[in-house]
Amino acid sequence: MTPLVEFRSVAKAFGNEKVFEEISFTIVEGESHALLGPSGCGKSTVLRLLAGLDQPNAGKILIEGKLVSDDAKCLVAPHERQLAMVFQDLALWPDLTALENVMLGMAQLKLARSGRRAKALSSLATCGIENLASRKPREASVGQQQRIALARALAGRPKLLLLDEPFSGLDAVIKRKLFQEIETHCVNFGITLLLVTHDSWEATGLCSHAVVIEDGHVAEHGRLCDVLRQPASIILRSFVSQWPSSLMRS
Ligand SMILES: Nc1ncnc2c1ncn2[C@@H]1O[C@H](COP(=O)(O)OP(=O)(O)OP(=O)(O)O)[C@@H](O)[C@H]1O
Ligand SMILES: [Mg+2]
């Protein structure tokens, strides 16, 4: 089966500073992956490379078997990669309302304006913030802004949803509700998830698989319930000490 995502020996440096030298992993369609590792190991960089917002120095990135980046060459533009991303800093347009922000995320759906509006409202409702449709981001709390960014990403019906620590401002009750909505949305619309998080509860609550980056390479990769049996990385060892294995998703 062709993987949805494949990183083949991807290297990335900023100037003389190497982030990683050899990152390789695959994601099969429908498998939700947590991307884990210490701060600064390159998790956001992996998402930006996959989204086409940065280019690797070497290596290949494939989406659905199609080469999208080859060494430093971008072969498929970001807007043609059929993915959506919630950035760590959210990247909302400050002068647009929540509804307008979400509608911008749907440009590629080629719907009439009324259809886009209805779908954008429905996406805001999925994230529990339809009442904020006419507010600008600065008129919303940080947690509400995170949900606007999530609504924008979901509304575009991507094949691949990249989430960069999108839940850090939310309380456990809202997170639980959002997890259910995201899971339903992913199943209904065939969306595959790649979630960056430092939080064991988020990773195990939303993801079936994990990729762990440590010291510039993939330290562990597999089903969470498998890698958590004998964790080799610092981060997964810390998860095991926090959570009983009976709570892990199979
Ligand atoms: N545009 C940039 N220019 C120079 N260095 C950068 C740039 N973006 C990231 N870096 C560096 O690359 C490394 C990886 O950054 P990245 O943001 O991917 O880490 P991360 O794993 O997402 O960290 P965190 O968990 O803190 O968000 C860091 O050392 C960072 O300083
Ligand atoms: Mg980051």
Establish if 150 belongs to a structural domain: yes
Tell me, in angstroms, the distance from the centre of ligand 2 to residue 169's CA: 15
Establish if 132 belongs to a structural domain: yes
In this predicted structure, what is the pLDDT of residue 165? 92
Tell me, in angstroms, the distance from the centre of ligand 1 to residue 19's CA: 8
Residue 132 to residue 128: CA distance in whole angstroms: 9
The verdict on the CB of residue 41 being under 6 Å from ligand 1 is yes
Residue of the CA atom closest to atom 6 of ligand 1: 14
Establish if 201 belongs to a structural domain: no
Establish if 191 belongs to a structural domain: no
The verdict on the CB of residue 14 being under 6 Å from ligand 1 is yes
Tell me, in angstroms, the distance from the centre of ligand 2 to residue 113's CA: 34
Give pLDDT < 70 ranges for the chain.
Answer: 243-250
DSSP element (H, E) containing 208: none
Establish if 249 belongs to a structural domain: no
| 167 close to 146: Cβ distance less than 8 angstroms | yes
Q: pLDDT by residue (tens digit) across 196-212?
A: 999 888 998 899 999 99
Q: pLDDT by residue (tens digit) across 218-229?
A: 999 999 989 888
The verdict on the CB of residue 19 being under 6 Å from ligand 1 is yes
Give the residue numbers spanning the domain of 96.
91-156
The residues whose Cβ lies within 5 A of ligand 2, an ion, are 44, 88
Tell me, in angstroms, the distance from the centre of ligand 2 to residue 86's CA: 11
Residue 85 to residue 127: CA distance in whole angstroms: 16
- pTM of the complete model: 0.91
Per DSSP (E only), the strands in the chain are 5-14, 17-27, 33-36, 58-63, 66-70, 73-74, 83-86, 160-164, 192-196, 209-214, 217-223
The verdict on the CB of residue 193 being under 6 Å from ligand 1 is no
Establish if 189 belongs to a structural domain: no
Establish if 120 belongs to a structural domain: yes
Tell me, in angstroms, the distance from the centre of ligand 1 to residue 13's CA: 10
| 178 close to 189: Cβ distance less than 8 angstroms | no
Establish if 119 belongs to a structural domain: yes
The verdict on the CB of residue 46 being under 6 Å from ligand 1 is no
Count how many domains the chain has: 1
